[in-house]
Structure 1
Amino acid sequence: MSFGVVMLCHTALDRAAQVARHWAANGCPVVIHLDRRVPEAQRAALAAALSDLPDVRFSARVPCEWGTFSLVQATNIAATQLLASFPQVGHVLLASGACLPIRPVAELQAHLGAHPDTDFIESVTTADVGWTIGGLNKERFTLRFPFSWKKQRRLFDRYVVLQRRLGVQRRIPAGLVPHLGSQWWCLTRRSLQAILSHPDRPRLDRYFRRVWIPDESYFQTLVRQVSTRIESRSLTLCKFDFQGRPHVFYDDHLHLLRQSDAFVARKIWPQADLLYRTFLTELPERRAAPNPAKIDRLFAKAVERRTRGRPGLFMQSRFPTRARGGNRAAATYGVFQGFAQLFPDFHPWLARATGARVHGHLFAPDRVEFAENERVFTGGLSNSAALRDYNPGSFLTNLVWNTRGETQCFQFGPADVQDVTRFIAGDSNARVFIISGAFAVPLWRSARPAAAVRAEAARLQKIEADLIARLDHPEAKANVRIWSLAEFVENPAEPLMQLLDDLNPRGSHRDVDLPPMIPLLGFGAFLQDLRNQGMHPVLMGDFPIDFGSKSAPSPLLRLK
């Protein structure tokens, strides 16, 4: 079973012609939509360059503008023609003229052949996870956007403010649950045909015409009504920076793209001759499952370097505000998030390894979990949550002051009272260690279905993401180490050695054994189930779906 490609093109038509020829040469029919604003001479040149390929067609043209329904309209026109002209097509891949296949087409054909009933499209509910950039999440579905964001920015902003002030809201059509996701998808013929021939499509199209950036929500929303199986991920590597702008790949990103297991990459610089020359020739087979998130950590580090710079480096484009004030606590203390979820015996192990006093969740909602379950701790501190929450920062200050000479450590998590996080972030004596995404492990171990825990997982992820953002603020002073869950389980010995060295630099930890870690076989599948239910688990990193299926990590490793 073959797949077809819909290409949306408006610039760099010579590169678009190269890619279209590559698709067609490998048995994939192509329908190109060319922006109507492209001059006729350029359209004629593109058509002439591809005239020898019977499986490359051109659709009717509409003028396209970013953030408007015209992109959806162009996609619908081209997709309709593709389905009508090529009945053998089983999947339809949406690509742009700046997309480049980075794996052999035969591998993508084999992958889709192995999943004939699966729609590969990122589809995330706005109610569960607010991951959009630009200040408009659910409002993009409830306000009207008649003005162009790029050409009429002042009118756009003023009209949004006016609608908010007047309390004007559009009614979302009955039965429609807004979803968001990447524009670049690969849908089955059945699902795409069902969307294009939807009996209520005229009314739905009228609604989406006034939705902001509908190409990121139209198919992502409607596919939930027609699909029998959704893999909420894209087969296209498409990354955005901290401002919501797409990353552009250049020739020096060749090694980076080779590390990715995605089938297609976007957005490629038109003058990247090395990339086009390399990936449009015969490539060695990799046989790896598609996983565009594999290189997320590299992008995260790039964003960190871009936004935070390097210590001591000041320039016109990056001049951070100097933090004011000194230490807030009297001594160093440790804050651990996510470790107890992976290591049942983490408390006694940490106490033995560091000689510190290890508490439970000092900021649990119902009570203060002092070490040894004490009701009154040193200095007359009560385990009453009400007394603690009167001033959480002072509570922690008193705890550290009253135990000077003994390092204090405690557990913290997204289920705890979060009022103390501002204090911790601003304290240079705080040593914060976080395994991001570990909050999902207890939800998985509860054996409840993903649909039942989706809302709770999204809530905890939002809280943890807010904490990480606060700790990552330029004015934060805490000493922070963060590992994604996927990164941590690859090699738990190194992070544990780091935290021991941070808490007790003069100690010798060479002969310390790791605590036994719970087996995580099946956790990756649980995360994928959350994605398929419309939740977008991002803090866990690129956790493999089949983790532990071949060789489970040893429960007892020695730090060498």
Structure 2
Amino acid sequence: MSVGIVMLVHTALGRAEQVARHWAAAGCPVVIHVDAKVSDRRYKAFREALSDVALIRFSSRHVCTWGAWGIVAATQDACEMLLGDHAEVQHVFLSSGSCLPLRPVDELKTYLAARPRTDFIESATTADVPWTVGGLDEERFTLRFPFSWKTQRRAFDRYVEFQRKLGFRRRIPDGVVPHMGSQWWCLTRQTLQAILTDPQRAEYDRYFRKVWIPDESYFQTLARKHSTHVESRSLTLSKFDFQGKPHIFYDDHLQLLRRSDCFVARKIWPHANRLYRVFLTDAEGAMKRREPNPGKIDRIFSTASERRTRGRTGLYMQSRFPREGWEGGLTGARYSVFQGFTELFEDFEAWLSRTAGCRVHGQIFGPGDAEFSGGQQVINGALTAKAALRDHSPRTFLTNLIWNTRGERQCFQYSPRANQAVAWDMAKDGNAHVSVIAGAWAVPLFRTRRPFEEIRREAARLQRIEHEFLDALRSPWAKARAQIWSMAEVVEAPSEALQASIDEMGLRTARRLPELPEMRDLTGFGAFLQSLKNQGMHPYLMGDFPAEVDEPAQDEEPDDKPRRPYMVKK
């Protein structure tokens, strides 16, 4: 018994010559089809280079355009020549010029001799095929496709839409159930002969000539009609990415190809000298005698596809940004955001650093330069504190901050005075833990000496900004873990808010917090809020404060320091 090889060659004629000689040296007759788009000069040189090998012949040439009938016609002619010239051939193996045998050819012969009636061809109905790309599955068999999808995309799409609107449907020939699969198959002589001599072949050819990508459906469909035993798998390792483009194998894929145990792999980079040297000359060390199992390396390809389409969470390519929502996550690690805490508590950052044991920054997004911990101007990854660079792309600044310091929990302050370009980004980031004391932005205004009319305008602006941020945190699209208290709630029971914030960071302790940060002096704050109301501004985010606060609601005993009176301008 012998195995015949049909090679469809388009480019890299030198490599195709090497592989053809390899097949022929093992006693396999080879018929080569060279794309008619290859120049006559190169084609003539290619034929002359192989003229010394008696087992190699060339079939008539066709123009092979992706997704068109020419590839099927070329395969038909080459198979007819192979079967007509070599009666000893019992299996025909279809390959391309970029295919590379991974195992000794004698192993393939032995494998097929043990399965004389088995056709190895991937063949599944459209309902069962998960890999169709371009939105066409059943329609590829019921519409017409006179335009090229690759070179005439606009005409292709418009003509498809036109046929859909008309409700046009082609009639599928009787007795034909459309199937799809990889074009790289290995068929028995009986099945292939039956396909090529079918009395209805002219009708089938006319029909499939107008099918989209017929090389993935013609033999796959007709093999189901004539074969007595179909194994719906290919003996050729051929992997595709999420866009339907074939993966290319390079020299560093040597061990990966060995692990597949497949007989042939496609598509090999023409300059992968190591692969061609190892698999075409080292018959003993090429592969072990095992059942072909490309599934062994599927996990690697799935991971590669995931890495390409989703990337690593929190890490973007330097060459391009992903489409929003496709980045797999804005940041690469969990972090905490505190809004209103530094306004209400003295030395809150130092207290949080002691209590949580993590890196605590000040106001990262301004106003002014970023306040990195320890007053640093440049931190991990050469991330600078300069406001101009930060505000050029605040979202990227946040991403880089978390990625560059991953492995260490980052905490930073935020406020309505900060750059709000990242407000929604943090709200939609599942890595963010945001704690907000609503209305605490009013404390610095309360302590300032600015004219009251200016204070009123600033209070209205800050309240509007914080209200929008709180809406983002509460929206259905928010993924951040948000804790929101009114300022009045925290003043009444500060330990509860502080304990909850620490617990949410995953730093749960067996006992209550050993110390609390000191709250700022709020004597006269109620009167300040009432004055804002009297001037027409309604401060509602901080909750209900009495117009006069005689004693602050501290967890500790109040000190005896004198309170600063608050003056309201009449």
Same fold per superposition (TM over 0.5): yes
Q: 1:317 aligns with which of 320, 326, 332?
A: 320
Q: Which residue of 2 aligns with 1:471?
A: none
Taking the aligned partners of 1:41 and 1:189, their CA distance within structure 2 comes to 34
Q: Which residue of 1 aligns with 2:263?
A: 263
Q: Which residue of 2 aligns with 1:224?
A: 224
Taking the aligned partners of 1:170 and 1:138, their CA distance within structure 2 comes to 11
Taking the aligned partners of 1:324 and 1:97, their CA distance within structure 2 comes to 41
1:354-410 residue CA offsets vs partner (Å, 9 max, x unmatched): xxxxxxxxxxxxxxxxxxxxxxxxxxxxxxxxxxxxxxxxxxxxxxxxxxxxxxxxx
Q: Secondary structure at the match of 2:23?
A: helix
Q: 1:308 aligns with which of 307, 310, 330?
A: 310
Q: Secondary structure at the match of 2:18?
A: helix
Q: Secondary structure at the match of 1:3?
A: strand
Q: Secondary structure at the match of 2:128?
A: coil
> Contact conserved, 1:235 with 1:291, CA < 8 A, in 2?
no
Q: Which amino acid aligns with 2:307?
A: R
Q: Which residue of 2 aligns with 1:289?
A: 291
Taking the aligned partners of 1:195 and 1:280, their CA distance within structure 2 comes to 33
| Higher RCO (Cα < 8 Å, 6 or more apart) | 1
Q: Which residue of 2 aligns with 1:55?
A: 55
> Contact conserved, 1:15 with 1:98, CA < 8 A, in 2?
yes
Q: Which amino acid aligns with 2:152?
A: Q
Q: Which residue of 1 aligns with 2:181?
A: 181
Q: Which residue of 1 aligns with 2:215?
A: 215
Q: 1:286 to 1:171 in 2, by over 3 A?
A: same
- Residue 309 of structure 1 and its aligned partner are, at CA, apart by 1.0
Taking the aligned partners of 1:151 and 1:427, their CA distance within structure 2 comes to 41
| Segment of structure 1 superposing worse, 59-68 or 285-294 | 285-294
Q: Which amino acid aligns with 2:87?
A: P
Q: 1:505 to 1:77 in 2, by over 3 A?
A: farther
Taking the aligned partners of 1:292 and 1:165, their CA distance within structure 2 comes to 42
- Residue 257 of structure 1 and its aligned partner are, at CA, apart by 0.7
1:304-351 residue CA offsets vs partner (Å, 9 max, x unmatched): 1111111221235343536999xxxxxxxxxxxxxxxxxxxxxxxxxx
**If you compute each CA radius of gyration, which structure gives the higher value, 1 or 2?**
2
Taking the aligned partners of 1:260 and 1:505, their CA distance within structure 2 comes to 46
Taking the aligned partners of 1:306 and 1:255, their CA distance within structure 2 comes to 21
> Contact conserved, 1:93 with 1:186, CA < 8 A, in 2?
yes
Q: Secondary structure at the match of 1:94?
A: strand
Q: Which amino acid aligns with 1:158?
A: R
- With normalisation by structure 2, the TM-score equals 0.57
Q: Describe how 1:8-47 pairs up with structure 2 within 5 A.
A: 8-47=8-47
- Residue 129 of structure 1 and its aligned partner are, at CA, apart by 3.8
Unaligned ranges ≥5, structure 1: 326-425, 430-474, 479-503, 507-560
Taking the aligned partners of 2:507 and 2:131, their CA distance within structure 1 comes to 38
Q: Which amino acid aligns with 1:88?
A: E
Q: 1:165 to 1:198 in 2, by over 3 A?
A: same
Taking the aligned partners of 2:31 and 2:3, their CA distance within structure 1 comes to 12
Q: Which amino acid aligns with 1:297?
A: R
Q: Which amino acid aligns with 2:66?
A: W
Taking the aligned partners of 2:203 and 2:165, their CA distance within structure 1 comes to 27
Q: Which residue of 2 aligns with 1:355?
A: none
Taking the aligned partners of 2:73 and 2:310, their CA distance within structure 1 comes to 40
Q: Which residue of 2 aligns with 1:166?
A: 166
Q: Secondary structure at the match of 2:156?
A: helix
Say how many residue pairs are matched. Answer: 336
Q: Secondary structure at the match of 2:257?
A: helix
Taking the aligned partners of 1:224 and 1:145, their CA distance within structure 2 comes to 24
- Residue 148 of structure 1 and its aligned partner are, at CA, apart by 1.3
Taking the aligned partners of 2:147 and 2:193, their CA distance within structure 1 comes to 31
Taking the aligned partners of 2:2 and 2:258, their CA distance within structure 1 comes to 25
Q: Which amino acid aligns with 2:174?
A: A
Is it true that 1:70 corresponds to 2:73 in the alignment?
no
Unaligned ranges ≥5, structure 2: 331-427, 432-476, 481-505, 509-570
Q: Which amino acid aligns with 1:117?
A: R
Q: Which residue of 1 aligns with 2:276?
A: 276
CA RMSD of superposed structures (Å)? 2.4
Paired-residue identity, %: 64
Q: Which residue of 1 aligns with 2:467?
A: none
Q: Which residue of 1 aligns with 2:191?
A: 191
Taking the aligned partners of 1:287 and 1:79, their CA distance within structure 2 comes to 28
Taking the aligned partners of 1:294 and 1:119, their CA distance within structure 2 comes to 22
Taking the aligned partners of 2:478 and 2:38, their CA distance within structure 1 comes to 49
1:453-474 residue CA offsets vs partner (Å, 9 max, x unmatched): xxxxxxxxxxxxxxxxxxxxxx
- Residue 43 of structure 1 and its aligned partner are, at CA, apart by 1.1
Q: 1:476 to 1:30 in 2, by over 3 A?
A: farther
Q: 1:476 to 1:211 in 2, by over 3 A?
A: farther
Q: Secondary structure at the match of 1:198?
A: coil
Is it true that 1:98 corresponds to 2:129 in the alignment?
no
Q: Which residue of 2 aligns with 1:409?
A: none
- Residue 428 of structure 1 and its aligned partner are, at CA, apart by 6.4
1:463-521 residue CA offsets vs partner (Å, 9 max, x unmatched): xxxxxxxxxxxx9979xxxxxxxxxxxxxxxxxxxxxxxxx999xxxxxxxxxxxxxxx
- Residue 51 of structure 1 and its aligned partner are, at CA, apart by 0.9
1:424-454 residue CA offsets vs partner (Å, 9 max, x unmatched): xx9969xxxxxxxxxxxxxxxxxxxxxxxxx
Q: Which residue of 2 aligns with 1:246?
A: 246
Q: Which runs of 4+ in 1 moved over 4 A?
A: 322-325, 426-429, 475-478
Q: Which residue of 1 aligns with 2:142?
A: 142
